[in-house]
Chains A and B, each alone.
Chain A
Amino acid sequence: MNNRLRPGKWVMLAYLLPGFLVTVGMLILPLLTATGFSFCKFTSIKNITFVGLDNYRTLFADKNVLQSLENNLFLVGVSLVGQLGIAFILAMILNSRLTSLKRFHRTVAYFPVTLSAVVVGYVWSMVFDYNFGLLGSLLKALGCGDQVVPWLSQPSTVMICVCIPLVWQYIGFHLVIMLSAMSSIDKEIYEMAELDGAGEFRRAVSITLPLIRNTLMVCVFLCISANMKVFDHIIAMTNGGPGYSSSVMAVYTYIISFNNMNFGYGSALSVAIFVVTATLVAVSQLVFYRRKEA
């Protein structure tokens, strides 16, 4: 940049200051405070004792933590396939020149994203309700009444039920991101491939996927971090139950911190969520960049 146009050092610092303060106040400080509290035990709300690594020892021995983490990873896995997979297919369809009413379809697909997670959770818990749920009524109408079970009350089915609204709600979010990436691909590349005899599937795999790779990676990061801190859907649908069958790390942390008033252990759990999420994102980034270099 031309030095005469470049703002002075103090002006630039002033521009950076609000963002810096927000990051420090909203992210760094709470994280440091939580890390500090994770080494303490709250004998009451104002009496704090340093207990070293006790909370972390408890964390590793607590099988509910493992159950919650497994549920988180299950949600991440299902969402990566469900949200990103379906969003990619829909984006391909919407990007096709054969599709009409593109804007309408895009708006409809995006609409669930605008809904509150609590509303989505309650609506879907009504769909799965054992007594008057939509799914049960549908099965009864089809003569499969014996297949109706209390899905949300059974540990074997509850996680599948919890996944469905999560996938449904966020397809539109990734769809819009992927569509914007796809629209930036030069149409001539597709035309050339078509002339060379490449079909729809071949073009999707060999042209679209590699060219929107960076955007896909952003979607993967967003999907991982969103599903590692998922909370509202679970609280609205199952409250983490039955028992801890549908509990995730954020729900378990909330239960420990606010229901059990164990803020020290709750802080240790928060730190664990941060570490696991950061690790997952780092690993996926590593995999992505290694492949890119290769």
Chain B
Amino acid sequence: MKRIFALLTALVVMICLSSVALADWKDENITMTIIHEHTAEAAKTVASSRNFLKVQDEFSALYPNITLDVTALGSSEIFNKLTILAAANDLPDIVYLNTKVYGAIKDDNMLVDLTGYVDPANYRDKLNTFSNNGKINGVPTKYTTYDYVFYNAKLWKEAGYDEFPTTWEDMLKANEYFESKGITTLIMGNKLGFFITNGYLDALMYEICGEDWINHLAAGDGQANWTDDCFIQCLNELQTLIPLFNKDFVTADDQWAVAEYCKGDAAATVSGSWVPGSIKSYEDDYPGITDGTRVAALPTVSGKPAVVNYAAPQGLGVNANLTGSKLEAAIAFVQYMGSKKYSQYQAEDGELGPVQVDVDPTNLVQMQVDLFDVMNSHENKPIVGSIISSAESTALSASLNSFMAGVITAKECAVEVQAAATR
């Protein structure tokens, strides 16, 4: 009897202690630091920033004992700052990640393993983006898909196309018509360097080289190299598409490209899931452009359905130096930011979020309905840039620009990227 009583007492004490420990972070006054790119200024025009701040504010309201010491820098330079802070072992409590920063720190145990705290099944990227060696180090806070053609249905109908072409050969035929009318067939702004790769080359690589080859390339196991024939073929196919583009596509700005499309100077533009919002913002200047825009999948060489590429470009992790209630609070914050809420707000704005949510189609315009249709009816694959090294990705963008400008040959371009991979 004494033993049973002692066991019961011990059990009660343990339960009490554990509940006290669990309740700690919700009662204690805790200050957590975070550096991110979502400024109040950006929130005025960018849905992802607006919704990020909205969810962050909700968390603060829910847990007034937690003070978020936020440094918001509206520039991609924050990732250089974070890299330097990582080198000095001085990362903020909540670590805002992109694939480049994550690539630099993933092997240094600087982030908490979130396995057990978040469920990969809930996320569109299955939490692969910020995972390494079986550990989940981050939760995505952005999700983007690429390879959509936004086209002016009226212009294409006038050109004799009730449906958007499914092969590049047909696109080049259509180009003859648009060229005679002084209209750019596919307008592109590659100033940021990734529109050719994410928008065109990745799709060609998945079609011509195949997913296995890309995975071997990313793994760097020597079974696939940039100098392989299939990649050279991709480059040659890409070069045949140059007549479709505006002459200054190498240095043109992507926002300018969307504006020119809306103006009617281009018949179509290839871009990502954020573009409907941009097109809608031009409705006052160019009435009818929102309803007149339809979305199709990218054409292919063979006519087979193209893939839709995705990326979870940003995410949140927790500094591994945290302990006790601060650690629990930081994990709770990341769980909250990575919950359905943010994605739901994004869906209400007609944009994608990292968590799969139900979308009410009655709130969407036709091009957004088309976009979701294309995304759901085509295979979704990660963009190549998110699975190869930063060095390869940078070299690919730069060499591709040189190649498209006619400075180097396809083979030289491939050799340059391969050199960056082995450097």
Contacts and interface: CB of A to CB of B under 8 A. Distances in A.
B191 A261 contact: no
Interface string A16-59: 00000000000000000000000000011111000000000010
Contacts of A47: 107-108
A45 B390 contact: no
B87 interface: yes
A47 B107 CA distance: 9
Contacts of B256: 131
Interface residues of A, number: 31
A255 B191 contact: no
Interface in A53-103: 58, 62, 64
B248 to A, nearest CB: 4
A190 interface: no
B405 A46 contact: no
Contacts of A245: 402, 405, 407
A148 to B, nearest CB: 10
A184 interface: no
A261 B86 CA distance: 12
Interface stretch (B98-106, B230-238, B348-356): B98-106
Contacts of A262: 391, 423
Given A153-B405, A244-B402, A58 B247 contact: no
A258 B87 CA distance: 13
Interface in A130-151: 130-131, 149-150
B398 A243 contact: yes
Contacts of B390: 259-261
Contacts of B89: 46
Could you tell me the dominant secondary structure of chain A's interface residues? loop
B83 interface: yes
B251 interface: yes
B399 interface: yes
A241 B104 contact: no
Given A44-B108, A260-B390, A149 B247 contact: yes
Nearest to B392: A260
A259 B397 CA distance: 11
Given A47-B108, A260-B390, A242 B401 contact: yes
Given A243-B408, A260-B390, A261-B100, A45 B108 contact: yes
B423 A154 contact: no
Nearest to A133: B248
Contact of B251 (A46, A150, A259, A261): A150
A175 B307 CA distance: 59
A169 interface: no
A223 interface: no
A245 B394 CA distance: 15
B164 to A, nearest CB: 25
Q: From A45, A130, A255, name the one whose CB has the most chain B CB atoms within 10 angstroms.
A: A45
B420 interface: yes
B249 interface: yes
B345 to A, nearest CB: 32
A241 B404 CA distance: 12
A239 B248 contact: no
A170 interface: no
A240 B395 CA distance: 12
A238 interface: yes
Nearest to B391: A260
Contacts of A152: 248, 251
Nearest to A241: B401
A265 B390 CA distance: 14
Contacts of A259: 100, 390, 394
Nearest to B260: A131
B86 A150 contact: no
A45 B107 CA distance: 9
Given A241-B401, A242-B405, A243-B398, A261 B104 contact: yes
Contacts of A155: 402, 405-407
Given A44-B106, A47-B107, A259-B394, A153 B407 contact: no
B73 to A, nearest CB: 15
Interface string B176-203: 0000000000000001010000000000
Contact of A44 (B107, B252, B407): B107
Given A243-B398, A244-B402, A261-B104, 18 more contacts: A44-B107, A44-B108, A45-B86, A45-B104, A46-B86, A46-B105, A130-B247, A131-B260, A150-B250, A153-B247, A153-B251, A153-B405, A155-B407, A238-B251, A241-B401, A244-B398, A259-B390, A260-B420
26 contacts: A44-B104, A44-B105, A44-B106, A45-B83, A45-B86, A45-B105, A46-B108, A46-B110, A64-B416, A131-B260, A152-B251, A153-B247, A155-B406, A238-B251, A241-B401, A242-B250, A242-B401, A243-B398, A243-B402, A243-B405, A244-B402, A245-B402, A258-B80, A261-B83, A261-B100, A265-B423
Interface of B: 80, 83, 86-87, 89, 100, 103-108, 110, 191, 193, 247-252, 256, 260, 389-391, 394-395, 398-408, 416, 419-420, 423
